[in-house]
Structure 1
């Protein structure tokens, strides 16, 4: 019995563009950037070939370069000159992220500037908030004192001109706390893109070099998620949606497409972060000639979109924008 349905009929090369189910677009992509107030020239990030720490003086030029590729959004991180136990510089009105926002918006007012709201780059211990003694006598991230810190950081970013704030610390109640602070400070129109499902992944390694955010003790498994837990992952995003998040996020992206597809069903826009380790392994294999970098990178990004991402935060954003233009 020969099958009556022949799926290969529609796979002729001339037909392929007509029946493509998922289309990756430049407008789907968000470029992460690192600004360092201790440098005067861009510094390459060794574990992330093609990526740099930029001096604040380059903020406008970087914004213009990315906008010329068609990219419309960036996510910025800051490396401050000074760190302390309570991340004072994270909410300084003249801080590194605050000044980077001003520089980018002055050059490209229509560029959507998203800011990472966290403390790991600003604390001398490298954890994502206020650290103290727990009820069992150990040291760990303290949830509620850290919420007050996130409120200060988010408001300072909004005051500096951020279009969207993105809390990444995985604290219980962080979205409600930040929404309350933004609304009470006159920033009710600033959306929150919550890192609502963020796993305690080993794939963040290169980021720690890029952002100078390694931790001095312990790990982040008491506040970031166990990679084995899918039901809990959904609950985390449902909680943030109920607290008022405007956009949810899954991080990392490529290893967690099953979770991404589930969170898509909540109904809010969803971002997915293709993290530093995902980028670095593609770069390394491509440098050895084992993979076709362009094809593999675009395949990975397309699959993230197919799973349900509305936005893809990726270090490949600039390259992918160029490749997609070339395919048109």
Structure 2
């Protein structure tokens, strides 16, 4: 009598390559190194001081001299770039936002100081009016409307002041129409053609930005919301169109913001355009991870590293993250 057929044990055993740390390392598909990190920091006036940001546990605003020390630390950890954001008190916020393009504002002062101390550090800046605007918006407000073209003129002045101070990368985060082309033309005309633009091309009207607004002092100032100029979170095709537009106007790199909730956008941008693509692990994302870790609900270091790896797996060349120094130390072993 014929014996029942006995299927051979599967020839493929995926667990073979998971068996030891060495085998897992050999077959790992995605790598994360300090080269993939940009560290955003917050600046404040004064000297030899820092102020904790309650909604971002572990993050503080730094005076310029302490920002210089932070740059030395970052360089020592192999982090190639930092992004500077100023805290501007209510007394310095005006409707004309003139402090935004002052050669001696906090950002431009910090650029010069860091470049003098750590010339190898690439410095990225933020181009938007919200840290300087009495209304808390990224653009000028006229009769309740955020006006586009006058705002673009102001952003060009802001960009040129940052380029003169020595910025390597300009980060227009305002989402006004036409600002990349106007900034690129002005940079070329004034001899700053070497300055790169990392455009916040796909920036969504997200609820994840709250702690950041605390950090730069914009929370109490904001009147209304930013839905008339930031992208609806439901719109993926629009985000891709905005990326294409900014590249056509002269952006060198593009960013998706926020990050973790928009990894699908990151992947689609990289696949569609093949350009240097970055994501911002924004303040709300940072606060959720760090808050849960401090309450003992998750393993903070493991969740942090897993979240950063997700950006790389989605196709990002790098990520702006407040975790950058901590992650770099872990990578160093």
TM-score of the superposed pair, with normalisation by structure 1: 0.95
Aligned partners of 1:267 and 1:177: how far apart in 2? 24
Aligned partners of 2:291 and 2:88: how far apart in 1? 29
Aligned structure 1 segments of 4 or more residues deviating by more than 6 angstroms: none
Aligned partners of 1:25 and 1:68: how far apart in 2? 14
Q: What displacement does 1:5 show?
A: 2.4
Deviations along 1:193-247, whole A, 9 cap, x unmatched?
Answer: 0000001111101101111122432100110111111111111111111111000
CA contact (8 A) 2:88 2:216 kept: no
What's the C-alpha RMSD, in Å, of the aligned pairs? Answer: 1.2
The residue number in structure 2 matching 1:34 is 42
Q: What displacement does 1:40 show?
A: 5.3
Aligned partners of 2:322 and 2:168: how far apart in 1? 20
**SS of the residue 2:42 aligns to:** strand
| Structure 2 counterpart of 1:213, from 205, 213, 218 | 218
The residue number in structure 2 matching 1:171 is 176
Stretches of structure 2 lacking an aligned partner (at least 5 in a row) = 1-6
Kindly name which structure, 1 or 2, has the bigger radius of gyration based on alpha carbons.
Answer: 2
The residue number in structure 2 matching 1:63 is 71
Matched, 1:154 2:159: yes
| Structure 1 counterpart of 2:279, from 272, 277, 281 | 272
CA contact (8 A) 2:47 2:65 kept: no
Residues paired across the two proteins, number: 321
Matched, 1:255 2:261: yes
The residue number in structure 2 matching 1:305 is 312
The residue number in structure 1 matching 2:297 is 290
Deviations along 1:284-316, whole A, 9 cap, x unmatched?
Answer: 111111100000000000011110111110000
CA contact (8 A) 1:90 1:119 kept: yes
Deviations along 1:232-274, whole A, 9 cap, x unmatched?
Answer: 1111111111111000000011111100001012121011100
The residue number in structure 2 matching 1:231 is 237
Correspondence list, 1:175-190, <5 A: 175-190=180-195
Matched, 1:99 2:109: yes
Aligned partners of 2:210 and 2:256: how far apart in 1? 17
Deviations along 1:52-98, whole A, 9 cap, x unmatched?
Answer: 10112323222112212221100001123511112100100111100
Q: What displacement does 1:174 show?
A: 1.2
Correspondence list, 1:71-82, <5 A: 71-80=79-88, 82=92
Stretches of structure 1 lacking an aligned partner (at least 5 in a row) = 134-138
The residue number in structure 1 matching 2:331 is 324
The residue number in structure 2 matching 1:121 is 131
**SS of the residue 1:241 aligns to:** helix
**SS of the residue 2:209 aligns to:** helix
The residue number in structure 2 matching 1:242 is 248
Matched, 1:16 2:21: no
Aligned partners of 2:254 and 2:54: how far apart in 1? 30
Aligned partners of 2:24 and 2:269: how far apart in 1? 30
The residue number in structure 2 matching 1:136 is none
**SS of the residue 1:76 aligns to:** strand
TM-score of the superposed pair, with normalisation by structure 2: 0.94
Aligned partners of 2:284 and 2:19: how far apart in 1? 36
Aligned partners of 1:121 and 1:218: how far apart in 2? 16
Change (3 A) 1:186 1:145: same
**SS of the residue 1:261 aligns to:** helix
Aligned partners of 1:253 and 1:281: how far apart in 2? 13
